A and B are shown apart, each in its own frame.
Chain A
Amino acid sequence: NAGVTQTPKFQVLKTGQSMTLQCAQDMNHEYMSWYRQDPGMGLRLIHYSVGAGITDQGEVPNGYNVSRSTTEDFPLRLLSAAPSQTSVYFCASSSRGPLGQGNSPLHFGNGTRLTVT
């Protein structure tokens, strides 16, 4: 069972470069989201999606773009990398749950550690 797969595991970028972090899930989950993890700050929501073709901003969306063309994939694009984007990025997915409220537990990928110099 693959679950949520993130690539790459590690990435080093120079300031101003762009890149895409890949995320794929094979559980047919409706909801997908991207978080960044920084020391002492827990995880903060960047962008999320409630289904194919639908995305919205989270708490810290600036500098990132997303799209959701299929149920399985939810890539995160860094448009012009900055040192402040050095972080560990986690993709997560979840189902609507029995009541359709989206309160089901999240399934996480293993993360992408990004360093911007």
Chain B
Amino acid sequence: GNSVTQMEGPVTLSEEAFLTINCTYTATGYPSLFWYVQYPGEGLQLLLKATKADDKGSNKGFEATYRKETTSFHLEKGSVQVSDSAVYFCALTEGGGKLIFGQGTELSVKP
């Protein structure tokens, strides 16, 4: 079946450092891919998405490119801020409103 694998956390960075969170997937067909972010005590919010191979999703300085050849959708940001501290989830859609999530990666950014 379909699955998503994320790098394990927690990830601790200093402010203004470069961020990469790895995400790889296994899927049949051509799923849409998403990154969601969860701030403490809140639900998940969509961060960015990509719907086909080579698409680049971007939002709030975060980027991820849908790489079909490596089945990857790594999240990157050039300069993180303390306010980016959260848990990040990679996910793929199976259609019908269903998502398969990775296990989540906790990011902590120190001033």
Q: Which residue of B lies closest to A58 (CB)?
A: B98
Q: How large is the interface on B (under 10, 10 to 19, 20 to 34, 35 or more residues)?
A: 20 to 34
Using an 8 Å CB-CB cutoff, how does the interface string of A88-103 with B read, 1 for contact, 0 for none?
0010111000000111
- Inter-chain contact A50/B97, CB cutoff 8 Å: yes
Contacts of A110 in B (CB 8 A): 41-43
Q: Are B96 and A111 touching (Cβ within 8 A)?
A: no
Contact partner of B95 (CB less than 8 A), chosen from A30, A42, A101, A109, is: A101
Contact in complex: B98, A33 (CB < 8 Å): yes
Asked if residues B97 and A42 are in contact (CB atoms below 8 Å), the reply is: no
> Which of B13-21, B44-52, B64-72, B75-83 has 4 or more CB atoms under 8 Å from chain A?
B44-52
Q: CB distance B89 to A43 under 8 Å?
A: yes
Residues in B whose Cβ lies below 8 Å from that of A43: 44, 89, 99, 101
Bound Cα distance A101, B103 (Å): 25
A32 interface hit (Cβ, 8 Å): yes
Q: Which of A42, A45, A48, A90 contacts B102 (CB 8 A)?
A: A42
Within 56-82 of A, Cβ neighbours of B (below 8 Å) are at 58
Contacts A/B (CB < 8 Å), 26 sampled: A30-B97, A35-B101, A40-B103, A41-B103, A42-B101, A42-B103, A43-B44, A43-B89, A43-B99, A44-B101, A45-B99, A50-B97, A90-B43, A90-B44, A93-B97, A101-B95, A102-B95, A102-B97, A103-B51, A103-B93, A103-B95, A104-B97, A105-B34, A105-B46, A106-B46, A108-B43
